[in-house]
Amino acid sequence: MKWLWLGWLVCVITAALLGYMALVEVPAISEKLRGMALPDAVPLGYGEEAARALFAAFQADFTLAAAEGRQSASAAYVAMHARSDLVFPPLLAASLAFLAFASVYAGRTQASPSRQVSVGVGLVMALAFTYLACDFLENAVADAMFGPQAMAAGFNESFVFVLQVLTRGKFLTLALAGLIIIALWVARWKGPRQPAAPET
């Protein structure tokens, strides 16, 4: 299928955006927080004690940024969620779905997908959408906990468990989807194959 190149392009754009966020945006924010990791990057999520410490780091930088007349880590964090991390989750979800689909239809493939393969593709689709929901909700809760408005309102411990569940759910769905995608590609190359049908 010649149009599959669009899916590969989405995967490349997703990887490039992830690299930009991981190598440029996140380190710049973490540096203002004395090197503390952002909740988005902690697979098991922050417990209450760690979340309080992170909030204190955000608050200290917020006060310092106001005195220095620069953007605070809190404002930069919310801005990241409103720009690059608003685009990244749907791109990653689309990439996961495409990789599962491509394992069946790209290049040489089985004459017809087995029931196990079809179920695997369906599971990846469901996990991709679950990841998307978790990531968007995680960003919203993180903004409510660590955004500029929260600096004046104070630490809200009631959000800690919710954020932790969403973060764990995000990484769990990504891990499961990745494992299934690997299994689909292994099954594709190990199973009987025949040339794909010619384009009409």
* Three-state SS sequence of 47-110: CHHHHHHHHHHHHHHHHHHHHHCCCCHHHHHHHHHHCHHHHHHHHHHHHHHHHHHHHHHCCCEC
pLDDT in tens, 23-68: 999 999 999 999 999 999 999 999 999 999 999 999 999 999 999 9
Specify if 136 maps to a domain: yes
For 4, which DSSP code? G
Specify if 140 maps to a domain: yes
Specify if 170 maps to a domain: yes
The number of folded domains in the chain is 1
Instruction: Tokens 């930069």: give the residue.
Output: 76
- The predicted pLDDT at position 188 comes to 77
Specify if 198 maps to a domain: no
Specify if 29 maps to a domain: yes
pTM, two decimals, is: 0.88
- DSSP structure string for 142-188: HHHHHSHHHHHH---THHHHHHHHHHHHHHHHHHHHHHHHHHHHHHH
Domain span at residue 47 reads 2-190
- The predicted pLDDT at position 109 comes to 47
**Single-letter residue type at 173:** T
